[in-house]
Chain A
Amino acid sequence: MQITSPGFKRNATRALGDEQLQKALGHVRSNFIDKRAAAAAALPEFEALRDNAKAIKDHVLENLDIYLETFEERVTAQGGNVHWAATASEARGHILDICRKAGARSVTKGKSMITEEIGLNSFLEKSDITPIETDLGEYIIQLRGEHPSHIIAPAVHLNMDQVRDDFKKAHTHLDANRAMDEPEILLKEARGVLRDRFLNADVGITGANFLVAETGSSIIVTNEGNGDLTQSLPKVHIVVASIEKIVPTLEDMSQIMRVLARSATGQEMSVYTTLSSGPRRPEDPDGPEQYHVVLLDNGRSEMIGTEFQDMLRCIRCGACMNHCPVYHAVGGHAYGWVYPGPMGSVLTPKFIGVDKAGHLPNASTFCGRCEEVCPMRIPLPKMMRHWREQEFEKHLSPPAQRRNLKLWAWVAKRPTLYRLATRIAARGMSVLGGRRHRLGWLPVASAWTKHRDMPTPEGGTFMAQWKGKR
């Protein structure tokens, strides 16, 4: 997909002025936050489970090489195949090979961010294989030629009338004057159209929420049931999963499962949690004849042992973006690549380079809500700060910003001077602000004051107040 992260500022400005988008983003603000809070409050063990979930993934990352080998051994023992892919292109190659060998023309897909990461759909299309997204949200955005704007609610940027228009355009075999004014009707229509696609697909591709080393199982967690039809009806099931999805045992998976749905949608449990192990057995009346797991690294192993290792605990629940004021304001597409929100601001610079994605870790208020709700206790703001440091060290930030930061650092290292300077600045701003107590323009920060007023400091500086109170 086309990367627009370098144009984040432009993307954000456009998003803020987009009425449709702003209306749709209201659903994120109103829906996800209260539901997650209620689900967390209803489970007394929730915080302890978060600690345990974190500990499980930390243990896995310390032994990831061994767990991957163990997982592979179990998959193979059950008649499945594991394909290792160091890069996105290698993963695409494996998938195409499997599809070609199966003589595939049409491929159904369960919702999977990793196939977005490797740009699978456009690649398959170029190879004359038709990929069909079957998750309702993914189906809608595929019709529109868009990419997901949220990792678990891919069409959250759209309103119903837009979906209605898309269905009218795409489903030309249906009566043009049919009633289409309720979401229920639209869902039923999509169900009908996709049912045929499920039954006629040659290959089904899903992602994985977990890979269990103990049993060589891949797990998908969904609400619609599309992932299950995707993986049980075609002759071939391909699982595309990144290496950090491993958990040691079924018991460990159960622990993390308890925090996943609650953090994501506020459900206690998603409707369908499905464990798949190998191809159908000789006595089975249904299920795929082939089972393939494509294990993707794509730079993740480089994060181990670095300040970004904690990010590999991420279970893609979306809680960080659901609670992010920046995401609420600009939506997912503004981030300019596959992963939006705070988790995207950490991952995107890793995948496409901090030179291209430097705006993302900067577009944060550091309010800390993402870290507060992250079920895996990933220190997202800290990692965004690491990217800011790297950006600074690589001289990628704008010259004016660097100059000002250097000046600030020079003054900050001299306490007497710093106190004097802040006293003068606070006093000066207060005088200039007058009775409005606001400033419409500030030197150095004119880009900031262009869009809002700066409230002027009232009373003495912190240091002065501190002294006074003691």
Chain B
Amino acid sequence: MSREFILERIKSRQKVDGDDSDRRRAVEKRIAEHAPGILPAVPGTRVKRLKQFIDKAEAAQASVSRVSEQSMGKALVEWLRDHNLPAEVRMSPDKRLDGLRKQAEKKLTIKPAPGDGSDIVGVSHAECGIVETGTLALTSGPDNPTTLNFLPENHVVVLREKDVVDHYEDIWPRLRKRFGERKMPRTLNLVTGPSRSADIEQTLILGAHGPVRLHILLVRD
């Protein structure tokens, strides 16, 4: 069996003795403790951290609108209009989008996700935003199908200010709390800006296989 062959060869090369209980304990301990390492500094105040999140997201060619709970629908409709997009979106069933659904349903056709690959606009809800790099974290599941993050040409993501965290290391405890230790959703997408490629003469072009545009509706607490 190759499994045993590979493991045995590793062990013989590591020059460790047959009793590996100490090493096993060390591995178990490291995994159980999952200690964070070096965390890059972020600004001292909440206001500045939110600003950094927006700046970083925009530097990665995403766009951000700051909206209130009541103005989400209006912001979405306006954004679609400003970009000459049809008044039709594919929206995740996430309950946190109910408000938006209600506010926008008179002006937009809202179809339930996931789509079939032909949609122009998709709307999802993010789990977290990360200040460090302007990154969004989206978890797969019935609430937010993962394919909606990639198939439509335009991706609108709703993110709550309270879910904006400093580092990637702040995502993991949240997931452990929600899914359990050592468990994960099938897919976790960390998304920083819209899709791009530089494969032709190293010229950066937006909109490779994923969305051409990524718009974040950042909802005030």
Q: Which A residues are closer than 8 A to B by beta carbons?
A: 24, 27-28, 31, 43-45, 48-49, 52, 56, 59, 62-70, 74, 78, 84-86, 90, 134-137, 140, 153-156, 158-160, 163, 183-184, 186-188, 191, 194-195, 198-199, 213-217, 223-226, 228-229, 232-233, 243, 248-252, 254-255, 257-258, 265, 267-281, 283-287, 295, 297, 301-302, 304-306
Measured in the bound complex, the distance between the Cα atoms of B14 and A187 in whole Å is: 47
Residue of B151, B169, B187 contacting most chain A CB atoms (<10 Å)? B187
Q: Are A301 and B10 in contact (CB under 8 A)?
A: yes
Q: Are B168 and A254 in contact (CB under 8 A)?
A: yes
Contact A302/B37 with A67-B27, A160-B201 known, Cβ cut-off 8 Å: no
Chain B residue numbers with a CB within 8 Å of A223 are 195-198, 208
Q: A191-B208, A228-B189, A274-B187 are in contact. List 10 more A-B contacts (CB 8 A).
A: A186-B200, A187-B207, A194-B209, A213-B31, A214-B182, A223-B196, A223-B208, A250-B34, A271-B60, A273-B192
Q: Are A134 and B192 in contact (CB under 8 A)?
A: no
Measured in the bound complex, the distance between the Cα atoms of B199 and A226 in whole Å is: 13
Which of B72-80, B81-89, B94-102, B133-141 lies at the interface? B133-141
Measured in the bound complex, the distance between the Cα atoms of B35 and A252 in whole Å is: 8
Q: Which B residues are closer than 8 A to A by beta carbons?
A: 1-3, 5-7, 9-11, 13-15, 20, 23-24, 26-27, 30-31, 34-41, 56, 60, 113-114, 116-117, 132-133, 135, 140-142, 145-147, 149-151, 167-169, 171-172, 175, 182-203, 205, 207-211
Closest to B39 in A: A45
Q: Are B14 and A305 in contact (CB under 8 A)?
A: yes
Q: Are B182 and A215 in contact (CB under 8 A)?
A: yes
Q: Are B141 and A284 in contact (CB under 8 A)?
A: yes
Q: Are B6 and A228 in contact (CB under 8 A)?
A: no
Q: Are A304 and B133 in contact (CB under 8 A)?
A: no
Q: Are A225 and B150 in contact (CB under 8 A)?
A: yes
Q: Are B3 and A84 in contact (CB under 8 A)?
A: yes
Q: Are B145 and A86 in contact (CB under 8 A)?
A: no
Measured in the bound complex, the distance between the Cα atoms of B195 and A39 in whole Å is: 20
Chain A residue numbers with a CB within 8 Å of B3 are 84
Closest to A277 in B: B184
Contact A153/B182 with A232-B147, A269-B190, A301-B10 known, Cβ cut-off 8 Å: no
- Min CB distance, B33 to chain A, in Å? 8
Measured in the bound complex, the distance between the Cα atoms of B99 and A186 in whole Å is: 40
Report 12 cross-chain contacts, Cβ distance below 8 Å, ordered by A residue: A63-B23, A84-B6, A137-B199, A187-B207, A214-B31, A226-B209, A275-B188, A277-B183, A284-B145, A285-B114, A295-B6, A306-B13
Closest to A188 in B: B207
Closest to A163 in B: B200
Q: Are B186 and A280 in contact (CB under 8 A)?
A: yes
Measured in the bound complex, the distance between the Cα atoms of B15 and A65 in whole Å is: 12
